[in-house]
Structures are given as structure tokens and as C-alpha cells.
Amino acid sequence: MEFTLVTLLNGLSYGLLLFMLSSGLTLIFSMMGVLNFAHASFYMLGAYFAYTISLKIGFWPALIIAPLLVGLLGAAVERFGLRAVHKFGHIPELLFTFGLSFVIVEMVQMIWGRAAVPYPIPAVLDGPLFTLFTTHFPMYRGFMMLIAVLMLASIFLVLTRTRIGLVIQAALTHPDMVEALGHNVPRVFMLVFGGGCALAGLAGVIGGNAFVTEPGMAATVGSIIFVVVVVGGMGSLAGALLASLLIGVLQTFAVALDYSIATLFSSIGAMVTPQTFGYPVLKLTISQIAPIMPYLLLVLILIFRPRGLMGVREG
Amino acid sequence: MTTTTATIKFAPVLPLRWLAWFGFALLLCIAPLVFNKGASLSLLSQMGTVMIFALSYNMLLGQGGMLSFGHAVYAGLGGFFAIHAMNLAAAGKIWLPITLAPLVGGLAGMLFGVLFGYVTTKKAGTPFAMITLGIGELVFSCSLMFPEFFGGEGGVSTNRVYGEKFLGISYGPQIEVYYLIAFWLFVSAIGMYAFTQTPLGRIINAVRDNPERAEFIGYDTQWVRYMTLILSGFFAGISGGLSAINFEIVTAENVGAHASGAILFFTFIGGAGYFFGPMIGAIIGVFMTVMLSDFTKAWHLYLGLFFIIIVMYAPGGVARVIMQNLRVVEYGKFGRVWRSMTAVSASTLLAFFGAVIGIEMLYHLTLESANGTTRKLFGIMVDTAAAPGWLVAGTLLAIGAIGFRLALPGFRRAWGEVNAEIEEQIRRAA
């Protein structure tokens, strides 16, 4: 019981972090048809910016400034890079962001070095939030969840209750009509791209000190958030939320479970020894296969429900 | 009523094409005699394997419009199967002459193409790219989970010299391995070129350009993509097997995302629109990987920047740049573009020079400043912590960038006019 609840909470907080990343990716994808391969790189930049800013003026200003900087950078990338490539089609756009992700990793190594930087959790948030039976639940995890939920709520409100949100929603499906009505659609694109990158930056600010801030951090989450987007259904925000939570909880549970098929066989009385046929597969514990869980889920979803959990379009 | 069916020939069968293949074979034969210094033989061998790999990748990217981020899976797994087969053969458990070991890799690549391709080719375009990325990660994670087969961190190694000599060839010396690679490269290149002429090779172009119409004329686009991917996996597996023979080791890196990304870089830089484009890309890519990494730690950055520049300004790759310039020369209009072209190239070169100085200094400052802040750059000692070096880098970069901005519109205009005229001439002639 205790184990289940604590793991569930940890999984939820990880899933919400994944959602902060995949929401921006999904928004950009559904609007511009561009899969931003460098999305996780902006997440990394957010963490590094926050580290540098928090050294100078503290964590709380960094929480605001770093995402804004990342958003500006993202908008600049859209304006001066992607827009020029747009006329060649979607694949060159994807390739552009792919090259960009390479360059950003190298730039980060060039500026902050190859080793991890010490980006600590602020002292105010360091400590247990509450104690569940005997396990302390860290306050910072709770803070992460709070930020993610706040972000989720504000995306929802901005998209449905404000003028710009309605323009964005309209431009998702009918860009020509929106342009004909006198809105500057390219600027809306730039805004969405910058906004999506800012969301990734925000995730970096709070994810960077919860995990590790190092040049490899983009690669570790990068492919998972693509899985989230495909599993949730390309371009569906609700699907992204569902898939993020699913993968977050699944992976957190899997990491903690030390059972294998061999232990299952042993518990029903069958002998499993290294000589048994297929021993290398039988002896694998669930925690060992945790890294491939998201990808297995991806394959299963593609076979049984190719449009994703909440996707509407068959692509 | 009699109906006459006219066969449409897309390209006349010219002796030129046979000449090109003959020239290619000749080039492969004499290359090691011309480049015979130091490590150039191993460089050539590596280029050969990467060429096969890049050509197989281009069956997807160039011919099928399928952007894969996990193509190294087929080459890497092919390499693993080939190396295990070689070890078994060396232990005397199976019969396998080393000349045919790449075929084992090819069959393994094909098998995994059948397996993974079923899932990946369900989608096209961007979803296909993401799914291949997922499959690539899946295989890479698996490779660390089964050290029995993948050899864990250290990989699987072998010794390519086993069994009796065949016609006096033991594959001990590098030159014999080179000719083995050259042989397989020639055969595979012909095979892949022949593929482009088959009905399947034609219809995959149609599926790339307009999948909807391809469906309407009765083709299952998923099936076409699937078949192409299987064949592409076969050739990728051959290149993996050859690389296993060449290096005598295969590690989990060979199936990793880095290897997949590298082959995408090389193919696109070379030019996905031409059959020979990936070969140029393989030459440039291997050269950069091997030579540049000796000179600078920042070579990943240069490769990435080069790739971005190609994507932004020359999406047809190096092959297209060459072919377009040749066409302008052929129509005798080069005189009208060379001035503005020189201006653009000169300012690019200037900016590039400035950028290189800046990047090198920054790298040195962050990563190696513990051992003193001075380093040698282009034969001059530079203090990376002092202003003069930065000033030079910044000035060069600024002048280059401004010059580029000023020269570009003129070049674009001249280039556009000349090419429009040429296309007009071609249209009239036809």
C-alpha cells in the first residue's frame, strides 16, 4: 500500500514533467506540422539558463526569466531558421531541428563544459512535504506537480478564453481563413513556437534540479517525449496528457519492481537455472526492462491503435 | 482496331551510363594505388562501407521520402549477426568463407526489416520518423540488456583471418579487405541502382510524391514502403557485415542513435535527390569524422552547422550544387554568375574563418583552460582569455556576415535568371 501510493505519486510527478515537455511539442506540431526535434534541447537550455541565473540572483527570478529567454530564443529560431526552410516542406523542417539539436548540445558543452553542473534545489523547498506511513514525500516533487498543474490550467484558459487563444485555435485548422480575416499567421506561428519552447524551458528550470543538469539530459527525455506524442495521438493535447501520465507511472513502477519471469516460475515450484532454455530472457527483471517500456508501448499502440490513444486523424 | 502501345523510356540507354559504371569500377580498383599514404587505405575501406550504408539509407530518404532516425538498427544488427557467424565459422561449427560473411549480415538486416518494418511503415512522413526513432531506442536499450549476444559495453570482437586461404587471399592485410569491400560496394551499388529501375523502385517514387494517387491506381502504399524498407535493410546489413570484417569488432554503438543520425547527416549532405549523392556524402562524412576529429574537439559542432547550412541554403545537397553548376557551365552562362558567386563564397569563407577562431577559442577556454589559456591556432599562439583573439574572430565574422547579406540578393537574382533561361531552353528543345 505504502509502496503503491508513493510510487504512484512519484510517477505522477514525472508524468506531469513529461507533459510540460510534450504539450509544447504537440502544440507546435498540430499548428505548424513541424515536429520540433530540438524540443528537448530547449528543455536543457532552460535548465542551464536557470542554473546561471540562480547563481547570480536566485532561483525565483530564474523561474520567470529562464523560460522567457528560452522562448525568445525559440521565436528567433522560428523567425530566422525554420521560416526559411518552410518552403521546402516538412521533412527539411524536421531535419533543420534535428541539426539544431546537435548544435545546441555542442554549444552547451562549449559554454558550460561536459560535466554536470551543480544546480541545487532551493533551500525553501528542500525537505519533506508530508509523510506517508514511513516514507517522506519531497516538497520539491509537490512543487513540480503544482507548477505543471498551474501550467496546464493556464494553457487551457489561454487557448479557450482569450482572443489570441481563439486565433491560435482557428489557425490550427484554417490558416488561410484566419489570414484572410486579417491576422498575421506567420507571427502567430512564431508566437506558438516561442511559447512551446518557453514551456520546455520552464520544464527545464524545475526538472534540471530535480534530476541532473548535464549535456546528456536532452537525449534522455528527447525520445520519450516523441513516444508520448505518438502514443497520445499526433497533435492531441489531451492525448499527450494521458500518455505522459501513463508512461510516467508505468516507468516509475517498473523501475521499482524486481521480479522476473524466473521468479514467477520459481514461485509456482518450477526450477529455473542458467541451463534452462531462454534463461537470458527469463532472468530479466521488470526493473531491467524499464528503459524499453515506453518503446514497447509505442509498438503495441501502433499495432492495435495506430492513431494513438486520443488521436482523431489517421496519418 | 489495332492499338499501338508506345513504351515510354525515361532515359535513353546511353553508352554514357555504362561508361559511368565502368569508370566507377576502375576508380575502385585504382583508388588504393593513388591514395597509398599512411592511414588512407583504412579510410578508403571505411568510406566503402559507409557508401553502401548511405545508398541503402537513400532508398528510404531519397526514393521513398521516408525519413528514418533508426537505420543503424539494420546495419548494426547485420554486423552482430555477421560477426557471430564469423566466430562460429572460426570455431569450425559452420562453414562460411569470409567473402560471404557480409551476406549473413544482409540477410539479418533483411529479417529485421521484415520484423520492424511491419510496424514502422504503417505510417509515413513525420510519424514514420518518430516511430523509427522509437524502434532505434528500443533496439539500443535491448542491446544493453542482452550481454550474451551483444557483448555488453565491450561489444563482440573477432578475428577475420581464419580457415584456409582461398586463391592465396587470407584477408589479413588491409588491402585485401579493401578489395572485398570494393567488390561488395560495386555489386550493391549496381543492385540498388537496378532497384530504382524496377516497377517497385518506380512506384516508391510515386508513393513519395503523391501517396493518394498511388493508392488510387491500386497500390497499397504501406506495402510498397514495407518492401522498400526490407530491401534497404538488406543492403544496410551488408554494410554492417563489411564493417564488422573491417574493424573486427561490433559494439552497441553500432545500433545507437548516433550512428543513425550520422548516416542521415551524410546522406543529406551528399544529396538525397541523386543516386550518387549519398556516395559523395559518405566521402565527406567519413573524411570529416576521421580527419577533423584529429584536429579539433568541436568537429561535432562543425558537422551540425554544416548540416544546418545545407538544409537551409542547399537542400539538394552537394550533389545538386555540383550538377547545377555543371549545367550552368554546359549552357555557357557561367560568366554571368561567377562574380556574385565569388562574392558570396568569399564572404562565407571569411565568416567561417571568424567562426572557427571563435569556436576553437571558446572550446579551449571552457574545457582546457586549466592547462593554461594559450593555444596554437592556424600556426599562431593565441591567448584565449585575452581580447585580441576575440576581436579578430568577431571582426572576421561580422565582415563576413555583412558581406554575405549584401552579396546574397545579387547572386540569387543572377542565379535565378540563368536557371530560368536554361529551363526555358530545355522546355523548348523538348
Distance of CA B139 to the CA centre of its chain: 22
> Number of folded domains in chain B?
2
Q: Are A110 and B362 in contact (CB < 8 Å)?
A: yes
Residue pairs between chains A and B whose CB atoms are closer than 8 Å: 126
The phi and psi torsions of B250 (rounded to 5 degrees) equal -130, 130
- Give per-residue pLDDT as tens, B111-121: 999 999 998 88
* Cell of residue B377, nine digits: 591556432
In the chain, the amino acid numbered A182 is G
pLDDT of B181 over the 50 cut? yes
CA distances from A193 to A82, A232, B207, B330 (A): 10, 20, 30, 44
- Give per-residue pLDDT as tens, A233-261: 877 888 889 999 999 998 888 887 777 77
Distance from CA of A306 to the nearest CA of B (A): 8
Q: What is the mean pLDDT of residues B154-183?
A: 80
Tell me which of B58, B60, B126, B208 to substitute to probe the interface with A (most A C-beta atoms closer than 10 Å): B126
Domain endpoint, select from B220, B255, B290 = B255
pLDDT of B169 over the 60 cut? yes
Question: Residue B280 falls within a domain, yes or no?
Answer: no
Residue in chain B nearest A29 by alpha carbon = B126
**Alpha-carbon gap, residue B41 to B221, rounded angstroms:** 43
Distance of CA A72 to the CA centre of its chain: 19
Residues of A in contact with B226 (CB under 8 A): none
pLDDT of residue B164: 67
pLDDT of residue B299: 82
Q: Are A110 and B261 in contact (CB < 8 Å)?
A: no
Residue in chain B nearest A219 by alpha carbon = B257
Question: Residue B107 falls within a domain, yes or no?
Answer: yes
Environment class of B140 (CB within 10 Å of its CB; exposed 0-12, middle 13-18, buried 19+): buried
pLDDT tier, B85 (very low <50, low <70, confident <90, very high otherwise): very high
- Give per-residue pLDDT as tens, B46-81: 999 999 999 999 999 989 889 899 899 999 999 999
Percent of chain A with pLDDT over 90: 19
> Of A128-137, B101-110, B205-214, B315-324, where does mean pLDDT reach its minimum?
A128-137
Q: Are B135 and A295 in contact (CB < 8 Å)?
A: yes
Residues 6+ apart with CB under 8 A from A33: A90, A93, B126
The phi and psi torsions of A200 (rounded to 5 degrees) equal -60, -40
* Cell of residue A242, nine digits: 494521458
ipTM, two decimals, is 0.84
pLDDT tier, B84 (very low <50, low <70, confident <90, very high otherwise): very high
B401 at interface of A, judged by CB pairs closer than 8 A: no
B7 at interface of A, judged by CB pairs closer than 8 A: no
Domain endpoint, select from B219, B237, B255 = B255
A55 at interface of B, judged by CB pairs closer than 8 A: no
pLDDT of residue A219: 84
Number of helices (H), then strands (E), belonging to chain B: the values are 17, 4
- Give per-residue pLDDT as tens, B130-163: 888 888 988 988 888 888 888 878 888 888 877 7
Number of helices (H), then strands (E), belonging to chain A: the values are 15, 2
Residues of B in contact with A293 (CB under 8 A): none
Tell me which of A101, A110, A304 to substitute to probe the interface with B (most B C-beta atoms closer than 10 Å): A110
Residues of A in contact with B124 (CB under 8 A): 315
**Alpha-carbon gap, residue A77 to B366, rounded angstroms:** 25
Question: Residue B98 falls within a domain, yes or no?
Answer: yes
Question: Residue B91 falls within a domain, yes or no?
Answer: yes
Do B87 and B198 lie in a common domain?
yes
B133 at interface of A, judged by CB pairs closer than 8 A: yes
Domain endpoint, select from B239, B255, B271 = B255
**Alpha-carbon gap, residue B220 to B212, rounded angstroms:** 10
3-state secondary structure of B218: coil
pLDDT of residue B1: 42
Tell me which of B130, B289, B357, B360 to substitute to probe the interface with A (most A C-beta atoms closer than 10 Å): B130
Question: Residue B148 falls within a domain, yes or no?
Answer: yes
pLDDT of residue B71: 92
pLDDT of B237 over the 90 cut? yes
For B158-217, give the DSSP string: --S--S--BTTB-S-SHHHHHHHHHHHHHHHHHHHHHHHHSHHHHHHHHHHH-HHHHHHT
More confident residue, A315 or B415: B415
Residues of B in contact with A312 (CB under 8 A): none
Q: Are B141 and A291 in contact (CB < 8 Å)?
A: yes
Residues in chain A: 315
Distance from CA of B252 to the nearest CA of A (A): 15
Among B345, B260, B265, B255, which Cα is nearest to B300's? B265
Q: Are B363 and A110 in contact (CB < 8 Å)?
A: yes
DSSP β-bridge partners for residue B109: none
Q: Are B264 and A95 in contact (CB < 8 Å)?
A: yes
Residues of A in contact with B148 (CB under 8 A): 280
Residue in chain A nearest B146 by alpha carbon = A280
pLDDT tier, B10 (very low <50, low <70, confident <90, very high otherwise): low
Tell me which of B267, B312, B408 to substitute to probe the interface with A (most A C-beta atoms closer than 10 Å): B312
Residues of A in contact with B305 (CB under 8 A): 99, 103
Residue A257: which H helix or E strand, with range?
none
pLDDT of A59 over the 50 cut? yes
Do B169 and B29 lie in a common domain?
yes
pLDDT of residue A49: 93
B146 at interface of A, judged by CB pairs closer than 8 A: yes
Q: Are A103 and B305 in contact (CB < 8 Å)?
A: yes
The phi and psi torsions of B374 (rounded to 5 degrees) equal -95, 145
Q: Are A292 and B142 in contact (CB < 8 Å)?
A: yes
Question: Residue B175 falls within a domain, yes or no?
Answer: yes
pLDDT of residue B414: 86
pLDDT of B379 over the 70 cut? no
Give residues 106 to 135 of A whose Cβ lies within 8 Å of B: 106-107, 109-114
Question: Residue B72 falls within a domain, yes or no?
Answer: yes
Residues 6+ apart with CB under 8 A from A178: A167, A170, A171, A185, A188
pTM score, two decimals?
Answer: 0.86
Give residues 43 to 72 of B whose Cβ lies within 8 Å of A: 65, 67, 69
Q: Are B123 and A91 in contact (CB < 8 Å)?
A: no
Distance of CA A292 to the CA centre of its chain: 17
- Give per-residue pLDDT as tens, A153-165: 898 898 888 888 8
Query: Is the CB of residue A32 less than 8 Å from the CB of residue A189?
Result: yes
pLDDT of B14 over the 70 cut? no
3-state secondary structure of B382: strand
- Give per-residue pLDDT as tens, A114-139: 888 888 888 777 777 777 777 777 88
- Give per-residue pLDDT as tens, A282-311: 777 777 788 888 888 888 887 787 777 777
Strands B249-250 and B156-157: antiparallel
* Cell of residue A263, nine digits: 521468479
Distance from CA of A159 to the nearest CA of B (A): 25
Among B40, B42, B57, which Cα is nearest to B265's? B57
Question: What is the extent of the structural domain holding B420?
Answer: 331-429
Percent of chain B with pLDDT over 70: 92
pLDDT of residue B288: 85
B293 at interface of A, judged by CB pairs closer than 8 A: no
pLDDT of B13 over the 60 cut? no
pLDDT of residue B370: 67
A150 at interface of B, judged by CB pairs closer than 8 A: no
More confident residue, A25 or B125: A25
The phi and psi torsions of A160 (rounded to 5 degrees) equal -105, -20
Tell me which of A29, A80, A106 to substitute to probe the interface with B (most B C-beta atoms closer than 10 Å): A106
pLDDT of residue B168: 67
Burial B348-377 (b: 16+ CB within 10 A, else e): bebbbbbbbbbbbbbbbbebeeeeeeebeb
Question: Residue B261 falls within a domain, yes or no?
Answer: no
**Alpha-carbon gap, residue A104 to B301, rounded angstroms:** 9
More confident residue, A230 or A128: A230
Cβ atoms < 10 Å from Cβ of B123: 23
Q: What is the end-to-end Cα distance of chain A in Å, rounded?
A: 42
Tell me which of A97, A111, A292 to substitute to probe the interface with B (most B C-beta atoms closer than 10 Å): A292
DSSP β-bridge partners for residue A117: A213
> Of A55-64, A249-258, B115-124, B268-277, where does mean pLDDT reach its minimum?
A249-258
Most confident of B13-22, B49-58, B167-176, B342-351: B49-58
Residues 6+ apart with CB under 8 A from B36: none
Percent of chain A with pLDDT over 70: 95
Q: Are B367 and A113 in contact (CB < 8 Å)?
A: yes
Residues of B in contact with A90 (CB under 8 A): 125-126
pLDDT of B240 over the 60 cut? yes
**Alpha-carbon gap, residue A218 to A39, rounded angstroms:** 8
